[in-house]
Amino acid sequence: MDSEPTRPAAPGPDGHIPGGVRLQKVLASAGVGSRRRSEQLIGEGRVTVDGRTAELGTRVDPLSSVVHVDGKRINLRADLVYLAMNKPRGVVTAMTDPQGRPCVGDFVSDRPERLFHVGRLDAETEGLLILTNDGDFAQRLAHPSHGVVKTYIAEVPGPIDPKVGRRLSDGIDLDDGPARVDGFRVIDSSGDRALVELSLHEGRKHIVRRMLDVVGHPVNRLVRVAVGPVRLGDQRPGTLRKLTGQELSELYREIGL
Ligand code: URA
């Protein structure tokens, strides 16, 4: 059995951590594959630890080593959780609400971790909200400098003038400065109700509602359908799911972790 000291010694000159845990064991616990499969991946030179190609026998510190398989970062920390929630309309983005309104915290009250929501959705906005107990990850993901693109679908009064997309992409003057979308498309604009999709990488308060107001299409319903590589898909309102390893490694890359 591998011993798992809480504080392994510092890496030696070859990058190995003498008191650490065998890499194949850590990879298997992280869900990469069986120990045998993990050994194969190491043997094929597809695994790096802190930037160096790992070898069979490499030991790591699961709390601090940075491990990539095929260039994708693997989460080794079993204590860190990353969840996608479909926030229902009418739920406040807060872990507790002093005014007693339904809040995100109500949906995770049975979980042992201390979770944070990454960024905010308006109470009336539905859709994808990421929750985690990884503070560094949450801060980076919410920070505008990382520019993670969020995608929304809005139901607005139609029809949509073909010039609307150009105006939104060129930039709209808001009270707190200009804002522009990275992408815009009309999903349906057949009658007096239209559906549009917008993607943008900033997260100022009510940004989508304010931009659509300015172009004459006040929002009736707003759903966030994606945050970077994470998509809402057909996840039901009020439910949570774990992010997949693939989604997580893409997010790690986008926020420079
Ligand atoms: N933009 C908005 O207007 N509301 C949200 O909840 C998110 C983005």
Domain 82-145+235-255 maps to which CATH number in 3.40.50.620, 3.20.20.70, 3.30.70.580, 3.40.50.11720? 3.30.70.580
Instruction: Report CA 195 to chain centroid distance, whole Å.
Output: 25
Which atom of ligand 1 is the closest one to the Cα of 206?
A: 3
In testing the pocket of ligand 1, which one of 130, 156, 224 has its CB within 8 Å of the most ligand atoms?
224
**Residues annotated as catalytic (active site), given as ranges:** 122
d(CA 255, ligand 1 centre) in Å: 21
Q: Whose CA is nearest to atom 7 of ligand 1?
A: 121
What's the confidence (pLDDT) of residue 13? 59
Residues with CB under 6 A from ligand 1: 121-122, 125, 206-209, 222
Q: How far is the CA of 11 from the centre of ligand 1 (A)?
A: 45
Place of tokens 């989460």: 75
Domain 149-227 has CATH 3.30.2350.10: yes
Ligand 1 center to residue 122 CA distance, Å? Answer: 6
**pLDDT averaged per 10 residues in sequence order, the chain, 257 residues:** 51 68 93 92 96 94 92 91 97 96 97 95 98 94 90 97 95 96 94 95 94 98 97 98 93 89
pLDDT of residue 2: 44
Fold (topology level) of 21-74: 3.10.290
Tokens of residue 64, six digits: 């601090």
Closest atom of ligand 1 to CA, residue 93: 6
Pocket test for ligand 1, best of 176, 198, 207 (most atoms within 8 A of CB): 207
Tell which residue, 72, 100, 211, 228, has the closest CA to residue 154. 211
Q: 126 C-alpha vs ligand 1 centroid, how far in Å?
A: 9
Measured CA to CA, the distance from residue 106 to residue 104 in angstroms comes to 5
- Domain ranges for the chain: 21-74, 82-145+235-255, 149-227
Residue-level pLDDT at 7 = 56
The atom number, within ligand 1, closest to the CA of 224 reads 7
Residue 128: partners with Cβ closer than 8 Å, 6 or more residues away: 84, 85, 86, 87, 224, 225, 226, 227, 230, 231, 232
CA of 152 to the centre of ligand 1 (A): 8
124 CA: nearest ligand 1 atom: 6
Q: What is the pLDDT of residue 145?
A: 87
pLDDT at residue 257, rounded to an integer? 80
